[in-house]
Structure 1
Amino acid sequence: MTEATTATATDDLHDGIVWRPSEEYLRTSRLKRFMDRHGIADYDALLRRSTEDVAWFWEAACEDLAIEWYRPFEQVVDLSRGVPWARWFVGGRLNYVHNALDKHVSTGRRNKLAVIWEGEDGAIRKYTYWELWTETNRVANALRALGVGKGDRVGIFMPMVPEVCIATLACSKIGAIYTPIFSGYAAQAISARLDDCAAKVLITADGFYRRGGVVRMKEVADEAVARAPTVEHVLVCRRLGREVPWTEGRDVWWDEAIRSQPRTYPTEQTDPEDPFMLIYTSGTTGRPKGAVHTHGGFPIKATQDMAHCFDVGERDLIFWYTDMGWMMGPWLFIGALTLGATALCYEGSPDYPGPDRVWDIVERHGVTVLGISPTAIRGMIPLGVDWVTRHDLTSLRVLGGTGEPWNPEPWTWYFQNVGGGRCPIINYSGGTEISGGITGCNTIRPLKTCSFVGPIPGMAADVLDESGQPVRGAVGELVVKQPWPGMTRGFWKDPERYEETYWSRWPGVWVHGDWATIDDDGFWFIQGRSDDTIKIAGKRLGPAEVESAVVSHPAVAEAAAIGV
């Protein structure tokens, strides 16, 4: 347990508190500085003000995050079309790439590391902000040469290599819309996404390493493109240098396409409501849902979360074990770069060639903020704590976890063995359509095991019973009662499905589809999907409650609770 600042260890154990911020966390906190700047005395007061006056909060957040505009906005939010279709930063002009990249190259950050990449085979590449900027510009010019312009869609089916970050930045720089696709998808899933968004170009790689073996990407991409008639070109990154099937006139090698391209490109000035990313989620039924995200939406929400929850700044090296096809991939690069930090991405398996690969990366690179899923931690527990303790992890100051609810054993294992009981675990829950989190933690509030401190600033979250009334101490629906910039601008070509999915139960209220509880001390807990409700003797249980009990048995690594 870290040194308590306002209570004794006995008090903490009685209250269930396992971590309190030290004076150092409070002194260096970005969120605390934001509160002090605006004369806000405590976190509860911040939550109230940020949700009762959303226009004030999001303008103040943009200022705090140093968001630069080509033209200032005239109105923070316009609700004339209703809350589900809120328009943000009306009248302004920006491009998130300017804030993530362009603005840094004219400052002392130009020679600071922006991205570090490590391959499963041990290969390492590093890019300064200047190097990342010049490579992005060359790829932007190459995409224009392939006929890609503002509003065109580009599929990105790539491993976690530096080029995947560069590809997303280049697409956004020219005003195109990229669609990140999970690197493990089969051809049918890829083609469904390419066909739905009518992609003009697909960017892929010859392959990548996974658990020591070669994963062939180009062959899968070819099969997908055969079912996606709108794709005119396939841009191929040489990750492995292997021979691949080739279609002349359609396929283009990445290195050849950019070789003679200029190292400058004028960033497209976009409306805050112009889309930059179309990221698909797998619906429970029917075709995938394409969540539309804009230059004035996802980047601001993602960066705000990274700054105010994870306390990331220029000093930090953040490593989140993820894939570009999941929301946390774009979130990692956009947030870290906008804040002037360094993002680390890793290509392969977290336990190859040894169970300590993640901890080895943390030690060698000096990672300060680490993010990983509860599933990954559960898989590491049976391998033994010695794989962790053999590494010096004292560079870490913040731990993160997302993707699913925690249960106590892996949370405690992560907290004690990886963080040494001194680093807070920033529990983070939201989703692709949110652009980040609804609920979260931060470095200035105490923590209970598996808990959230509550809604993230700017998120007017609540837990409602079946009649739509706030409920405490019992399972209820997680909802959001006010708009926020990161909310998806609907599903691609399917606005009715968007309204039906999130806005149809209670007027003007976003129903997220998660069960949540708020305990007597005000801590929040996510209990699983609300469409997976289990009723026992008339009482509602979230599947996470059952799953947590099952996986507490040493013989069980994974569990899924299903009502029948």
Structure 2
Amino acid sequence: MSEGTAQAVYPPSAEFVSQANAGPELEQAAEADRLAFWAEQARRLHWDTDFTDVLDWSDAPFAKWFVGGKLNVAYNCVDRHVEAGNGSRVAIHWVGEPGDSRDVTYDQLLAEVSQAANYFTEIGLVSGDRVAIYMPMVPEAIITMLACARLGLTHSVVFAGFSAGALRSRVDDAEAKLVVTTDGQYRRGKPAPLKAAVDEALGSGDDAAKSVEHVLVVNRTDSDINWTDGRDLWWHETVAKSDTAHTPQAHDAEHPLFLLYTSGTTGKPKGIVHTTGGYLTQVSYTFHNVFDHKPGEDVFWCGADIGWVTGHSYLVYGPLSNGATEVIYEGTPNSPNEHRHFEIIEQYKVSTYYIAPTLIRTFMKWGREIPDAHDLSSLRLLGSVGEPINPEAWRWYHEVIGGERCPIVDTWWQTETGAIMISPLPGITETKPGSAMAPLPGISANIVDEQGKSVGAGEQGFLVLDKPWPSMLRGIWRDDERFRETYWSRFADQGWYFAGDGARYDDDHALWVLGRIDDVMNISGHRISTAEVESALVGHHSIAEAAVIGAADPTTGQGIVAFVILRQGQEDTGDQLITELKAQVSKDISPIAKPREIHVVPELPKTRSGKIMRRLLKDVAEGRELGDTSTLVDPTVFDNIRRGNKV
């Protein structure tokens, strides 16, 4: 990345500083007594039984936080706001893809969560049972999650874009008794089946999923579906007719709140276990401080799906535990056209907007005239999540979406960490485009070499978390050995969690996350991260997005192959453009990092969560048959890629 531009510093405005939730005293308190600090954050919640110890780390790497404490997550997210007199506040502005919408107040949310909890009890579910949720972004999905939390049912949300096979593996591993789904979902303006995938996943006869007793179906698209009597139930005939009053019971702080399956290198998904007290403490604390949230004033919008951890933490539990008003949008950003997100911001006066760099770069590709056509003056804070954001996209986000007035919180965290770990605090931090800056108060991280020694400024190393944190994963479901091996074995002697990401400090000790260590290429013995090369390419005025992979090379071990998308209105000038791009990378990083090949392509292969499938690009670059393309939004993208330019 270009040091001149990337190192420019953006301090928060005096006006923002004057009203910020988090000031320097937060860091001072955390440094003075870390565990007392976390106890104070925990007490922002309602506890039915107070905890006796903040942390028990005696069985490391298996932590216990807030030992002896009992609380109810749903009570903290819903009931207590109603009891405080805020029942008429809108909790959810729900926007459906076809144009339908619904506002759900905290009063209404409490009634509907209570109905679901009562019905789940009626069909025999008890605390500790597991429930699989395979749903699009409809209010009933959030209601189901909260009803599970209310009863101590451990939920497993499976992204509604996943295949029947992926659903089945997760249902079987968790031994889910109930699957909650919809008849269909809207995708790019048209209804698409969903219940059919559940039927396929659960099988029949000898192949039937043994654990599943019921399938509860929300009518979303009025689709014709197959029906299994005795197993299948309509939400509107059952849940919607249940009692709206329900008394929540407290659960132990270490009770498993949810499982969330994430991809494993061996192919078998890992069921990440998150618990009740520590998880809710940290997501609630980070939502309040990182997003500077003002209940009753701000309107928050996290663009993630509930199928991912971002949706769990900053679309359900973080916002609702703080009494937030938030937008939940069902559809894609370009349905019915590319103005959709900005129309929603304008209509609901969204003040905080939290999205992935992939979407920001997509907006760049579409052109600034689209956001410029809308009044985005309600925005006061922007956030980035999911991958390191390249400086060019950061600056575009700041200027075009944020009108140069909104601080940007570039957040680093993972499914496994449960909550934000490294991020600017918007009223304190002077930010640098592309840098997550520093661990949050109460969080301890370091960048080390293979031997576990801290690296110096400018050196790449391994990002480790060297002290336990409240929202940390408590294990992999029923696989303790895999948990130890995957996350704790590399630095077992030190007892550190290894995140799997590379990072570096700059001269000011700002922390730059470089992406997965398996996204580091070895070019003639030099370690070069794909993120750095992508950032340099996108620094060129013609390029909206880039994906880089290391392909086998007989001379250098690996050769850098780049795939780039042009910005709206930019022309492919052929050899001239390729020459300019190679020069840009040489200048910003090193001549060693200059790509061997650059392909100008119309699209990149992305999953429905927005992640670029670099593995498949590597298959293309090395001339292999493509691997599994089932999670791609558009598998035909490779036809266009193969017709792209190659130099």
In which range does the TM-score fall when normalised by the shorter chain? over 0.9
Q: How big is the shift at 1:451?
A: 1.4
Residue correspondences, number: 539
Query: Partners of 1:193 and 1:487 in 2: how far apart?
Result: 21
TM-score of the pair, normalised by structure 1:
0.92
SS in 2 for 1:203: strand
Could you tell me which residue of structure 1 aligns to residue 213 of structure 2? Answer: 232
Could you tell me which residue of structure 2 aligns to residue 305 of structure 1? Answer: 286
Could you tell me which residue of structure 2 aligns to residue 150 of structure 1? Answer: 127
Could you tell me which residue of structure 2 aligns to residue 512 of structure 1? Answer: 499
* Pairing 1:91–2:68 present: yes
Could you tell me which residue of structure 1 aligns to residue 40 of structure 2? Answer: 60
Could you tell me which residue of structure 2 aligns to residue 462 of structure 1? Answer: 446
**Does the aligned pair in 1 maintain the 2:66–2:278 contact within 8 Å?**
no
The amino acid of 1:303's aligned partner reads S
SS in 2 for 1:79: strand
Query: Partners of 2:29 and 2:501 in 1: how far apart?
Result: 24
SS in 2 for 1:447: coil
Could you tell me which residue of structure 2 aligns to residue 140 of structure 1? Answer: 117
User: Where do residues 488-507 of structure 1 align in structure 2 (5 Å cutoff)?
Assistant: 488-506=473-491, 507=494
Q: How big is the shift at 1:467?
A: 1.6
* 1:254-291: CA deviation from partner (whole Å, max 9, x where unpaired): 11112331111121210000001011111122310001
* Pairing 1:28–2:19 present: yes
**Does the aligned pair in 2 maintain the 1:234–1:252 contact within 8 Å?**
yes
SS in 2 for 1:466: coil
Q: How big is the shift at 1:552?
A: 4.0
The amino acid of 2:42's aligned partner reads C
The amino acid of 2:299's aligned partner reads L
* 1:278-305: CA deviation from partner (whole Å, max 9, x where unpaired): 1111112231000111111222211121
Could you tell me which residue of structure 1 aligns to residue 193 of structure 2? Answer: 216
SS in 1 for 2:287: helix
* 1:124-182: CA deviation from partner (whole Å, max 9, x where unpaired): 11111110000000011111112211000000000001111100000111110100111
Query: Partners of 2:139 and 2:108 in 1: how far apart?
Result: 11
The amino acid of 1:442's aligned partner reads L
What stretches of structure 2 of length at least 5 have no aligned partner? 553-647
Could you tell me which residue of structure 1 aligns to residue 431 of structure 2? Answer: 447
Q: How big is the shift at 1:218?
A: 0.6
Could you tell me which residue of structure 1 aligns to residue 7 of structure 2? Answer: 16
Which of the residues 318, 328, 351 maps onto 1:345? Answer: 328
Q: How big is the shift at 1:98?
A: 1.4
Could you tell me which residue of structure 1 aligns to residue 139 of structure 2? Answer: 162
SS in 2 for 1:441: coil
The amino acid of 2:472's aligned partner reads M
Q: How big is the shift at 1:525?
A: 1.1
SS in 2 for 1:388: helix
Query: Partners of 2:422 and 2:241 in 1: how far apart?
Result: 47
Query: Partners of 1:14 and 1:209 in 2: how far apart?
Result: 42
The amino acid of 1:562's aligned partner reads G
**Does the aligned pair in 2 maintain the 1:547–1:561 contact within 8 Å?**
no
Q: How big is the shift at 1:212?
A: 1.1
The amino acid of 2:88's aligned partner reads N
* Pairing 1:322–2:304 present: yes
Q: How big is the shift at 1:555?
A: 5.1
SS in 1 for 2:421: strand
Which of the residues 46, 69, 75 maps onto 2:47? Answer: 69
* 1:212-255: CA deviation from partner (whole Å, max 9, x where unpaired): 12121110111112152211100001111222111111100011
User: Where do residues 245-324 of structure 1 align in structure 2 (5 Å cutoff)?
Assistant: 245-314=226-295, 315-324=297-306
Q: How big is the shift at 1:362?
A: 0.5
Could you tell me which residue of structure 2 aligns to residue 388 of structure 1? Answer: 371
Query: Partners of 1:295 and 1:216 in 2: how far apart?
Result: 34
Change in Cα spacing, 1:205 to 1:558, as seen in structure 2 (3 Å) is farther
Query: Partners of 2:290 and 2:445 in 1: how far apart?
Result: 16
Query: Partners of 2:477 and 2:261 in 1: how far apart?
Result: 9
**Does the aligned pair in 2 maintain the 1:19–1:422 contact within 8 Å?**
no
SS in 2 for 1:351: coil
**Does the aligned pair in 1 maintain the 2:92–2:103 contact within 8 Å?**
yes
Query: Partners of 1:551 and 1:195 in 2: how far apart?
Result: 43
* 1:347-387: CA deviation from partner (whole Å, max 9, x where unpaired): 11111111111111101001111011111111121211110
Query: Partners of 1:475 and 1:457 in 2: how far apart?
Result: 24
Change in Cα spacing, 1:528 to 1:563, as seen in structure 2 (3 Å) is farther
* Pairing 1:107–2:91 present: no
The amino acid of 2:411's aligned partner reads Y
SS in 2 for 1:396: coil
SS in 2 for 1:241: coil
Structure with higher RCO (Cα < 8 A, 6+ apart): 1
Query: Partners of 1:551 and 1:445 in 2: how far apart?
Result: 25
* Pairing 1:542–2:522 present: no
Query: Partners of 1:383 and 1:159 in 2: how far apart?
Result: 26
Q: Percent identity?
A: 40
Change in Cα spacing, 1:305 to 1:526, as seen in structure 2 (3 Å) is same
**Does the aligned pair in 1 maintain the 2:6–2:434 contact within 8 Å?**
no
**Does the aligned pair in 2 maintain the 1:183–1:323 contact within 8 Å?**
no
Aligned Cα root-mean-square deviation (Å): 1.7
